[in-house]
Amino acid sequence: MTSSEAQKESQDMSWEALGISTIRGLAMDGPQEANSGHPGTAMALAPLAHVLWTRVMKYDASDPTWPDRDRFVLSCGHASILLYTMLTLTGYGLSVEDLKQFRKWGSLTPGHPEVGHTVGVEVTTGPLGQGIGNSVGLAMAQRWLQAKFGKDLVDHHTWAICSDGDFMEGISHEAASLAGHLELGNLTVIYDNNHITIDGPTELAYNDNVAMRFESYGWNVTDIGDNAENLDIIESALIKTKESSKPSLVIIRSHIGYPSPRFTDTSAAHGDPFGADEIKITKEILGLDPDKTFQIPQEVDKKYKTAGASGSKQRLEWQARLDASPKKSEFAKALNSTLEANWHEALPSFDPGGKVATRKALQACVEASTEAVSYLLSGAGDLTGNTGVKLKDQDLMSSKDHGGRQIAYGIREHAMGAALNGMALHGGILPLSGTFFVFSDYMRPSIRLAALSKAHVIYSFTHDSIGLGQDGPTHQPIEHLASLRAMPGLSLIRPGDANETVHAWRIAVENKRPTAIIGTRQNLDVLEGTKDSYSGVSRGAYQLIKTDDPAVILVASGSEVPLCVKASKILEAEGVKTTVVSMPSWDLFEAQDESYKSEVLPREVPKLGVEAGSSFGWQKYVDEIFAIDRFGASADEATNFEKFGFTPDHIAQLAKELINKKNLTKETT
């Protein structure tokens, strides 16, 4: 077919057929220009994307943050060129030039979708399985807001496209089970059943009956078979899912790379550009000009832009309802995470001399915030009471009551983490979750994406060290503090007593980024000076016990701060002037200016760090670190701390040895 023949054929096609060909052409051109990317899935799903953006979804491209828009999640984020193409065509502000910059430095079209980076992207996806977990969180948020504010203000749907890779990942099992349990009828997941992975056919490793699996979770399942090109069948199946009280799965048998003669239904279509020759041949089949790249026919551009603007009428009608609603102010407060200026005055304080586990102090904070932070939703991985995340006098979210603020996630930490991100990024909700610190390992991929997404999520990670006792080394965190401290964008706070916990909670609520509060199972002394230490905690570290011309500085976080306070008294009794620095948050401390850092940790004074966890990273702040670089042991808390050497006497002895070592160094130099 010549170029002129292709042009004539395109003129004879319906605009929808031409539009789908255009999507497929762009899906080939973007990866080819980048010499990187995944064209095949985007090509196979072009008809589905067309139906979603022109016939099914409620949105207004001119206002991408309209609160009552439908949410779309591309869980198989490697097919990002499909999403970028639809955002370009429907008028979200992306251009052909952006598509030409696909996967290039500084572009708005990175390798996988990133929320906050590209307008129209709702969540950051890429690691497979995360998107379905996000989708469950988005649907939970919508249902809760609808229960609180009514259908007039909240009546939208969540649509997600998932792949076989998403469903192989274990998180999908957890997320789908939770969605079925809660009967999230506002969630539709479309399964792109293309039978292809990078290694070859899915049958190499995967023969699940996906329909039966999701039916067992309590989902409404529709299999439309080999109808990935039939727009009417796709549309009908999707629209019918909105009538179900259950979450819905629509299974589509697509053909990756279609209609490429060489790459259709091959693993080669998954992760590599097709090459110029194959693209030309495929464009001829599509009725496109084979000699043009990034082509968008004028009629197609006009029709898609019209589709992108078609939701403006619904948005304006919604705005009128909002303006007339007596709930307008409260709705805006939730969406904007607005706090009263004095909200924290309701938080508890603790008198010195008492003993309180920091997880219990956090529980008191959460209870005190139930009314003050009315959009706070809280839950745990079967450890609600243990981790201090129970709201005061609140109902449980259930299939019968989507308005409950307390959430039972069950033993599904991985899905819980991803759902938290979806809830936070939906807007209108501040999600809090709890589990044992060691089980943050199950949540780590979701925590990382929360940090990358700047999602306002709060984690309560408790039972934070060998101090949890007889559950033993399988449950005692060692490397976890170092691991999460290394994660950019995550704020981690390990308070040293109950009052520092109160300050940590205030910081976590007021911060607009993910924050983890690390709490103890065991009781800790309530210390002198911490009640008024908000400024110090918010700056990451401060001198809890300040001494002029100290001979040594003891630096610690969490349960080791009270031990250092006791050690300082032993040292002072021996005439050794000692300063104690509580250092609950490295990331907050790193955000301070150098003068403050030098004031808290003066370079010339010997510094001993003390932490019942890995020593990794402490060398930046102290001269020596007393820590644990092995796994723990099964014994009660007191025995563990004694056997591992975390006693005031031993810490005092280590401090004196450090002073002597430093003095000897001075003498020899």
CA distance 151 to 131: 26
CA distance 397 to 182: 8
Dig out the tokens for 135 from the structure.
């989708």
User: Are 639 and 467 within 8 A, CB to CB?
Assistant: no
Q: For residue 153, what are the CA distances in angstroms to 146, 332, 491, 641?
A: 7, 11, 33, 55
CA distance 47 to 40: 13
**Element containing residue 452 per DSSP (H, E):** helix 440-453
96, 99, 105, 108: CA torsion to nearest 10: 80
Which residue out of 413, 500, 560, 637 is catalytically annotated?
A: 413
Could you tell me which of 304, 305, 309 has the C-alpha nearest to residue 62? 309
CA distance 466 to 476: 5
Where do runs of H (alpha helix) occur along 492-633?
498-510, 534-538, 560-573, 586-590, 594-600
The answer to whether 33 is a known catalytic residue is: no
User: Are 568 and 545 within 8 A, CB to CB?
Assistant: yes
User: Are 39 and 254 within 8 A, CB to CB?
Assistant: no
Other Cβ atoms less than 10 A from the Cβ of 88: the count is 25
Report which residue type is found at 230.
N
User: Are 622 and 534 within 8 A, CB to CB?
Assistant: no
User: Looking at the annotation, which residues are catalytic?
Assistant: 413
